[in-house]
Structure 1
Amino acid sequence: MRIFIIDDDPFIRHLMGHQLSELSQAQVYEFDGGVSAMDAITREHHADDLIICDLHMPDKDGVELVRELGQIGFKGGLVLVSGEDARILQTVERLAQGLGLRLLDALQKPVSRHRLEQILQLNRERDLPQTRRKAPPLPANELKQALSRNELINHYQPKVSVRSGEVTGVETLVRWDHPRDGLIYPDRFIAQAEELGLMDPLTFAVLRRALDDAARWHQQGIELQVAVNISMDNLDALDFPERIEHELKQRGLPPTSLMLEVTESRLMRNRLESMDILSRLRLKRVGLSIDDFGTGHSSLAQLRDLPFNELKIDQSFVHGVSHHASLRSIFEGCLSMAQKLGLHTVAEGVEDATDWAFLQYSGCDTAQGWFIARAMPPEQLPHWLQQWQQRRTALIQPAEE
């Protein structure tokens, strides 16, 4: 393992170098500018390398360095540090994630010895959530064939009560089991399905499989609410609530066992029809969640006009919330508003113990993210539930003391 410290302040650079040398057996290299550092990194870089980079440097600033690290496909860990405005740091953090870099943290100066120790541990784990580069969409005819051949499969990510740790439900996440390319994530085909008018058959393929799995779990004594994503494209047909009701009745499941997560990837085409359909779904006791709140087209107008009973706070406002003041303000604002409206709240993107610890005292109802579990095939869920019961005790006890 090698550590590259890039900072034009010699005192800070030497101090971090000294501390990191004491905390690890790694080779530590110090650079006073981005140009010399990139020359060294470009010649040779490895997945266990760690770069700690100041944003403000005279010859090549941290933003340029981040861009070039993305261009060379740097796979090591990256830590951004700055004495600048925290909002600048957060913007560069999003840039690094968007470029597919393995960003371990973005920190205000000065960086404590304890935090450096935590960063070293994170870099050793080398299994952090990261933004995947978007691959090009697949040909339209392949998506149509996938639907006809039942190549779409469901994975499920658990949702747990922040207060008790009880598993309350799962979110359904569709995958394409492609015969040539293997498992394909929805960012490569959902937008295309919307453009091709395939969202209705795709949604019902996912829904039917999810309800089949929910019925199977029910037979095993596992009672879970299943959340399924729907698009605004699904809200064009007035008989949509009756079709949902029919699928539930066929499997003997109560309407409350289903939560429909509404994602506005684009604006409503017919607002009045959407209000009609969503109101009737709630009258039938099907749950409605506004997904990824605070991003895309999700807005206060949706909370005003549509009968949601759950609000999901987007992961971009959750992960790292404990040590970013602006994120914390946004998170607490969303939470307070949802609570005043009587909405159940879900925090997405709970990725580490720090995120979880923050939620324990936040007043949020439910948590979801990699810290709890990654999405998994349906057959793995019963075994995971047994493992979670063991973890649950250790995670909840501190909050009860």
Structure 2
Amino acid sequence: MQVLIVDDDPFICRLLTRQLRSLGFAKVTACERALAAVAQLEQAPDSIDLVLCDLQMPEMDGIEFIRHLVRLDFAGALVLVSGEDERILQSAERLAQAHHLRVLGTLFKPVPSGRLQKLLEQAAAERAAPRAADSRSYSAEDLARGIAAGELVNHYQPKVDFHGARVIGVETLVRWQHPQDGLVYPDRFIELAEDSGLIEALMRAVLGNALREARQWRDAGHLLQVAVNVSMDNLQVLDFPDFVEQEALAAGVPLHSLVLEVTESHLMKNRQAALDILTRLRLKRISLSIDDFGTGHSSLVQLRDIPFNELKIDRSFVHGAWRDVSLRSILDASLAMARKLGMKTVAEGIEDRADWDHLLAAGCDVAQGWFIAKAMPAAQLPAWLKEWERRRRELI
């Protein structure tokens, strides 16, 4: 892996170079001038796999440098390094992500060797195992054929009660088992489905698979809630609640064990129809969760008008909130509001023990994230449940 350091401080350049080489990265180049780094990238943009860039530099600051990375279609990974205010660093990270740069994370000066090592291991893993479908785009006809052929498969990410560390349910995450490209992740086809009128067919396939697999788990003694994501685009047909009820009854899954996570990626096309449908779903004892709360179009208006009984806090407000004052303030306010509204709270993005301990102390109800488990195929869940029973004793 070829690494480029961009920092106007000679001491930081030497320190990072030494740290990188001690971690086994021999191909390290340090530039004390951002213009020199840009010139090197212009000559051979594909030769650099990872850039570590300071934000506060004379001649050209880190934000300007990010513009050049975008201009050059930089395909490597980026780590932002700074001694600036944490919120400035976070804003720069979000800007780079908005430009579709692959941002591994941020580092504060002085750079901890352990944190640097973790980011580099992540970069190496991603580089060693690229997904074939990442470079592919798909047409509506491709997706329609895949749905009709039964190529959509569900993976499931466990949800765990904070107070007893017991598994209470799973979230359904769809994948496309493409015959040529292998496993295609939803960021490659969900927006396509919404824009091409295929989201209804996609949702029906995902729901049907989830209910069948939930029935198999129940038969094995695992009484789990199953959450399925629905788009506001799904909530335009007035008989949708009846369809969900019929599917659940046919599969032998109680309605109270079904959660629909509503993501509003688009503004409501027909607000009255959505309110009609969502209210009827709650009357049928199907739980409703407002997903990714605090992002996109999710807002206090939805909490006022729609009978949600679960609030799912987006991962961008969860991971690292224990050390970030602004994240912690937003998180605490969301939890307090949910409690006053009588809603269960779910925290996405629990990635380490520090996240777990903080959300537990803050009074959140349910945890979800890589610290617990990544999403897995249905067949792997029973074995994971046995393993979790051994691990949960460490958390209670």
Relative to the length of structure 1, the TM-score reads 0.86
Q: Does 1:174 align with 2:174?
A: yes
> Residues of 1 paired with 2:384 and 2:95: CA distance?
34
Relative distance call for 1:2 and 1:212 in structure 2 (3 A) is same
> Residues of 1 paired with 2:332 and 2:31: CA distance?
39
Match of 1:267 in 2: 267
Superposed, 1:24-39 pairs within 5 Å as 24=23, 30-38=30-38
Match of 2:345 in 1: 345
Relative distance call for 1:298 and 1:135 in structure 2 (3 A) is farther
Match of 1:111 in 2: 110
Q: Does 1:124 align with 2:121?
A: yes
Relative distance call for 1:252 and 1:366 in structure 2 (3 A) is same
Instruction: Report the secondary structure of 1:382's partner residue.
Output: helix
Instruction: Report the secondary structure of 1:142's partner residue.
Output: helix
Conservation of the 8 A alpha-carbon contact between 1:102 and 1:128 = no
> Residues of 1 paired with 2:175 and 2:20: CA distance?
44
Instruction: Say which is worse superposed, 299-308 or 32-41, in terms of deviation.
Output: 32-41
Instruction: Say which is worse superposed, 310-319 or 294-303, in terms of deviation.
Output: 310-319
Instruction: Say which is worse superposed, 296-305 or 247-256, in terms of deviation.
Output: 247-256
Superposed, 1:44-123 pairs within 5 Å as 45=47, 51-69=51-69, 71=72, 73=74, 75=76, 78-98=78-98, 103-108=103-108, 110-111=109-110, 115-123=112-120
> Residues of 2 paired with 1:283 and 1:386: CA distance?
35
Q: How far is 1:26 from its partner?
A: 5.0
Conservation of the 8 A alpha-carbon contact between 2:3 and 2:48 = no
Q: 1:96-127, CA deviations, whole angstroms, 9 ceiling, x for partnerless residues?
A: 3445555443244x426xx3333224423544
Match of 1:190 in 2: 190
Q: How far is 1:137 from its partner?
A: 4.7
Q: How far is 1:324 from its partner?
A: 2.7
Q: How far is 1:14 from its partner?
A: 5.2
Q: How far is 1:374 from its partner?
A: 1.6
Q: How far is 1:203 from its partner?
A: 1.2
Relative distance call for 1:350 and 1:216 in structure 2 (3 A) is same
Instruction: Report the secondary structure of 1:80's partner residue.
Output: strand
> Residues of 2 paired with 1:355 and 1:208: CA distance?
34
Match of 1:213 in 2: 213
Q: 1:67-113, CA deviations, whole angstroms, 9 ceiling, x for partnerless residues?
A: 4456464545x4323343433211211233445555443244x426x
| Structure 2 letter corresponding to 1:358 | H
Superposed, 1:1-400 pairs within 5 Å as 5-10=5-10, 12-13=12-13, 20=19, 24=23, 30-38=30-38, 45=47, 51-69=51-69, 71=72, 73=74, 75=76, 78-98=78-98, 103-108=103-108, 110-111=109-110, 115-125=112-122, 126-127=124-125, 137-394=137-394, 396-397=395-396
Q: How far is 1:46 from its partner?
A: 6.3
Q: Name structure 2 gaps, 5 residues minimum.
A: none
> Residues of 2 paired with 1:183 and 1:273: CA distance?
35
Instruction: Report the secondary structure of 2:261's partner residue.
Output: strand
> Residues of 1 paired with 2:358 and 2:285: CA distance?
32
| Structure 2 letter corresponding to 1:8 | D
Instruction: Say which is worse superposed, 377-386 or 144-153, in terms of deviation.
Output: 144-153
| Structure 1 letter corresponding to 2:143 | L
Conservation of the 8 A alpha-carbon contact between 2:230 and 2:260 = yes
Relative distance call for 1:128 and 1:149 in structure 2 (3 A) is closer
> Residues of 2 paired with 1:239 and 1:385: CA distance?
36
Q: How far is 1:382 from its partner?
A: 0.9
> Residues of 2 paired with 1:287 and 1:276: CA distance?
15
Identity %: 52
Relative distance call for 1:205 and 1:22 in structure 2 (3 A) is closer
Relative to the length of structure 2, the TM-score reads 0.87
Q: How far is 1:17 from its partner?
A: 5.8
| Structure 2 letter corresponding to 1:82 | S
| Structure 2 letter corresponding to 1:156 | Y
Relative distance call for 1:142 and 1:295 in structure 2 (3 A) is same
Instruction: Say which is worse superposed, 207-216 or 242-251, in terms of deviation.
Output: 242-251
Conservation of the 8 A alpha-carbon contact between 2:293 and 2:313 = yes
